[in-house]
Structure 1
Amino acid sequence: MPTAMHLGRYKLILWVQYLLLVIDLFMNSFTELLRFENVILLVLYVIQDICILFAVIVVFLLFFNTYIFQAGLVGILINKFKSTIIVVFVYFCLCIGLHVWGMTMRWDDPNKDIWNNGYIALFVLQRTAAVLYYYTYKRSALRLGDPRLYQDSEWIRKEFEKRR
């Protein structure tokens, strides 16, 4: 079992992860309402993209702290969290694409109607990927709190034997 110090640190990291998700949800919900000024919108988009990158960094730092990673069984972690890694990468690419396309089309006139069929499709795809991102990221954040990942156990030894 993790010590009280590890549990307290995990709670702090979990709250940071939740904060990053809430910031992203806020940005997805309200940035279109702030489109009257391009610079404000650009700054908000950059903040959203940086928060996604920070979320990925936090997950990988948690990976590095696991006993499995330190034992050299990185493949187990990648298989266990493959869906999260893929969803985060796809979501980040969709966000960048949506932000760049939207800013490019409305830079000269912030109130311009930019809602063509391609942009609507990308918008819907990005928002759908956001739901998947929130779900998989939160699930992974909770799964990374499993004490079995941070200590030697029988199932890790069996996995290690399979790899030899």
Structure 2
Amino acid sequence: MLVERYRPILYLQYLLLFVDLFLNSFIELLRFENVILLVLLVIQDVCILFAAIVVFLLFFNTFIFQAGLVNILVNKFRVTITVVFVYFCLCVGLHVWYMTLRWADPNTWIWGNQGIRALFIIQRTASVFYYYFYKRTCLKLADPRFYQDSDWIQKEFEKRR
């Protein structure tokens, strides 16, 4: 029953990851007008924000959060929260710099700039970590143990007293 309720949310999270992966992979090949490219980059950034919002909404829906044990969730998913934040910052930074360099001429060669190349490589490397940790978090949050009272939650609650 709970798994069925969570399935559409999981599909939404996978869709957001797929859009980000697709745009990361093919945005350089889409040399259209600058405005179209800008809209695609904004869509990518918005998808990352929506992905983070969905995870936090799932946090708020857990029994652990409702029982007041927010520390457990934060400690359990600290790496994912950090990776999502860092990846979003890297994407926004890369997109702003990328569009700044390309705005005057969409077909100009911008990869001679060492800084943009370095940021590009760092952002693409961070994307791998983002995909891994985000997907792992999606699957972990599908576990019914987070949405009902169980022994391990009681033990954690006893530790906090």
TM normalised by structure 1 equals 0.95
Q: Which residue of 1 aligns with 2:160?
A: 163
Q: Within the alignment, does 1:31 sit opposite 2:27 as a pair? A: yes
2: CA distance between counterparts of 1:20 and 1:9? 18
2: CA distance between counterparts of 1:151 and 1:26? 36
Alignment of 1:2-151 (within 5 A): 4=1, 6-115=2-111, 116-151=113-148
1: CA distance between counterparts of 2:143 and 2:77? 13
Q: Which runs of 5 or more residues in structure 1 are unaligned?
A: none
Q: Which runs of 5 or more residues in structure 2 are unaligned?
A: none
Does the Cα contact within 8 Å between 1:81 and 1:140 map onto a contact in 2? yes
1: CA distance between counterparts of 2:32 and 2:105? 9
SS at match of 2:85: helix
SS at match of 1:114: coil
Aligned length: 160
1: CA distance between counterparts of 2:140 and 2:106? 42
Amino acid of the structure 2 residue aligned with 1:11: R
Q: Deviations over 1:96-137 (max 9, x none)?
A: 000000001110111111111110000000000001000000
Does the Cα contact within 8 Å between 1:34 and 1:40 map onto a contact in 2? no
Amino acid of the structure 2 residue aligned with 1:99: H
When the two chains are superposed, the root-mean-square deviation of aligned CA atoms in Å is 0.8
Taking only the aligned residue pairs, the percentage that are identical comes to 74
Amino acid of the structure 1 residue aligned with 2:119: L
Q: Cα offset for 1:36?
A: 3.4
Does the Cα contact within 8 Å between 2:45 and 2:92 map onto a contact in 1? yes
Q: Cα offset for 1:9?
A: 1.9
Misfit runs of 4+, over 3 Å: none
Does the Cα contact within 8 Å between 2:90 and 2:123 map onto a contact in 1? yes
TM normalised by structure 2 equals 0.97
